[in-house]
Chains A and B, each alone.
Chain A
Amino acid sequence: GQSLEQPSEVTAVEGAIVQINCTYQTSGFYGLSWYQQHDGGAPTFLSYNALDGLEETGRFSSFLSRSDSYGYLLLQELQMKDSASYFCAVGSARQLTFGSGTQLTVLP
C-alpha cells in the first residue's frame, strides 16, 4: 500500500518563503506530484518529480529524494492568493494516492 505524511497546517507572512514537507511509503514508486486546492475549488496540478533533485516553476519549486522517501514543495515570495491546501501525491502504475493536505495561510 501507499501512505503519505505532510503537516496539517502552515502559516507564513506575505513575501516570505515556506516549505511543505512530504514523506511517503509506497510500493512501486512512479514519482511525487503536488496539487493546490483553494477552498471550494478543484485541485490543480503544480509539479511532478520522478528523479531526485529540484524542479523549479516560477515561484514554486519541488524537491525529491527517493532514497529518503521525502519531498517538499517550496513557495517563494508568498502572496495572499497562495493561501490554499497543498497535497502531495505518489503514483503507482495506475493511480495517485494523495496525502491529507497542508493548509497554508498567508498573513499580510
Chain B
Amino acid sequence: GAGVSQSPSNKVTEKGKDVELRCDPISGHTALYWYRQRLGQGLEFLIYFQGNSAPDKSGLPSDRFSAERTGESVSTLTIQRTQQEDSAVYLCASSASGGQAGQPQHFGDGTRLSIL
C-alpha cells in the first residue's frame, strides 16, 4: 500500500488477556520501528528491525512484550497478560533504510489499546 498500515485501529480487552498488533510497512522499507505513546506523552521506543539483522529490543518494557518480523514484511507486536498500564497508542513506523536519523520515519495511524 501507499503508507504504513496498522491493525486493529482500536482494541479493547480485559486485563490478563493477550493481544497481537499488526503492522504492514511501506513496501521496500527495510527498517521497522514500534513505539508506545501514552496520552499526552512523547513516543517511547520499543523495538527496531533492520533487514535480517537481530532486532534491537532495548526498549521493550518487560518480558510480556515481544515482536516478530518476517524478512522485510509484516511485523506483529504481542503483549501477554495485559495490564492496565499497557493502555496506550502503539505506533509502527518504517523507513527506507535504518540507522541514520536523517531517514524519515513514516508512521501508521496506530492501534489504540485500552485495557479494562
Contact = CB atoms under 8 A, between A and B. Distances in A.
A89 B102 CA distance: 11
B12 interface: no
B42 A98 contact: yes
Interface string A76-87: 000000000001
A94 B107 CA distance: 17
Interface in A42-91: 42-45, 48, 50, 87, 89-91
B interface, how many residues as a size bin?
A: 20 to 34
A68 B69 CA distance: 39
Q: Tell me which of A45, A48, A87, A91 has the highest count of chain B C-beta atoms within 10 A of its own C-beta.
A: A45
Contacts of A31: 100-102
Nearest to B55: A94
Nearest to A2: B45
A27 interface: no
A5 to B, nearest CB: 11
A97 B91 contact: no
Nearest to B108: A42
A89 to B, nearest CB: 7
A43 B93 CA distance: 9
Interface residues on A, range: 20 to 34
Given A94-B56, A95-B33, A95-B56, A48 B43 contact: no
A100 B108 contact: no
Given A42-B107, A42-B110, A100 B101 contact: no
B100 A91 contact: yes
B105 interface: yes
A96 B45 CA distance: 8
Contact of A96 (B4, B105, B108, B109): B105
A96 B42 contact: no
16 contacts: A32-B101, A33-B102, A42-B110, A45-B105, A48-B102, A50-B101, A87-B42, A89-B43, A90-B101, A96-B101, A96-B105, A98-B35, A98-B43, A99-B42, A101-B41, A101-B42
